[in-house]
Amino acid sequence: MPIFGAVKDFQVVAAADANRALVESFAKDFSLRGYIDWREMLGKEKLDLAAIFLPHADCPDAAVACAEKGVHLMVEKPMAADAEGVRRMAEAAKATGVILSAPYVWRYHPVARQMKKFVDDGVLGRIVGCEGRCAAGRLQRYIDGNAGWMLQKARSGGGPMYNLGVHWIDLYRWLLADEVAEVFGKNVKINQEYDIEDNSFALLTFSRGAVVALDISYTVPDSYPNGRDLYLSLRGAGGVLSWSPSFEGVKETLFVCSDNGEFASSPRRHIEFELQAHPGYTGILGVHYVADLARSIKTGSAPAITGEDGLRALEVVEAIYKSAASGKAVRLAGH
């Protein structure tokens, strides 16, 4: 709510959730109209945008119904429990002319944007290898947060690669301006209570040859600073970038080392960034994303992050799981 409240083009008017106590409390706290069933809300409210945060398996039906009513769509990642669900949404959005977007907000981080500029400017030369690590909290956080469905494969799609890995998959697609051609995956299951794995690893080979190693998990120690272990790096024939994001922190550091002539006087640099602090999950990044989405709706232009982006990320995840099950590399369609 602090994110939407910061964007003057939007006013949240109603909320729906099957948990009666939760939605009544939420509606009271924010002076909204509350509904137990999103279908009733869709029938009674005149909406411009639906922000859908349902269990992943339930998102496609809700999104298609909203699209058929002419309501634009923001669907939380990974958007569905399988790629086919995202395809359904995309087809409905195209048929009805509504916007479909997913909040992959890391693209709005100033460090990520500087990384992309360095890549685009050739500061690293040809990109050879990259690394992405995202270990964020233990499984208990979903139980404590009224989201026990996250631990049910049929409703969530799977474990951390579905929920967290999609962020880094999307970010590397954007940074490299390239698509994943082949994956090799391995899942490791420690918990015995739930049918999702809690650790997932993958090697992604992009069409132009860059290889990205992903380490995604729910097993970071409770004692780890901020409860998250995040890391991103890119290595090219002529330079290296590395960054350990603090997620909702306001101070960030990007390390760059390059043989590029622009860096001749100082080939190794630590570049400091200071973000504007803002309340709400994802902070100022979320504000930038929602404001961008509002502009797209008002102007009828394509959003910066499209349903197609969400589909590409989930297709990669599905290939990782297929590889993990077979023990063999999997090629993506079209490659």
Residue 146: is its pLDDT beyond 90? no
Question: Using one digit for the tens of pLDDT, what is the confidence trace for 69-127?
Answer: 999 999 999 999 999 999 999 999 999 999 999 999 999 999 999 999 999 999 999 99
Per the prediction, the chain carries an average pLDDT of: 96
pLDDT band at residue 218 under the 50/70/90 scheme: very high
Taking residues 136-158, what's their average pLDDT?
A: 91
Beta bridge partners of 46: none
Which pLDDT score, from 0 to 100, does residue 130 have? 98
Instruction: Name which of 307, 257, 335, 269 is nearest 72 in CA terms.
Output: 307
Separation between Cα atoms, residue 184 and residue 204, nearest integer Å? 7
Q: Is the pLDDT of residue 247 over 80?
A: no
In DSSP terms, which residues pair with 331 in a beta bridge? 182
Rounded distance between C-alpha atoms, residue 86 and residue 24, angstroms: 30
Please give the domain boundaries of the chain with CATH numbers for all domains: 2-104 (3.40.50.720), 105-293+309-331 (3.30.360.10)
Looking up tokens 């579905």 gives: 162
Angstrom distances, CA of residue 186 to CA of 166, 214, 216 = 16, 10, 11
Residue 199 banded pLDDT, cuts 50, 70, 90: very high
pLDDT at position 145 is: 87
CA distance 73 to 248: 25
In whole angstroms, give the CA distance from residue 16 to residue 303: 25
Q: In this model, does residue 249 exceed pLDDT 80?
A: no
* Percent of the chain residues topping a pLDDT of 70: 100
pTM of the entire predicted model: 0.97
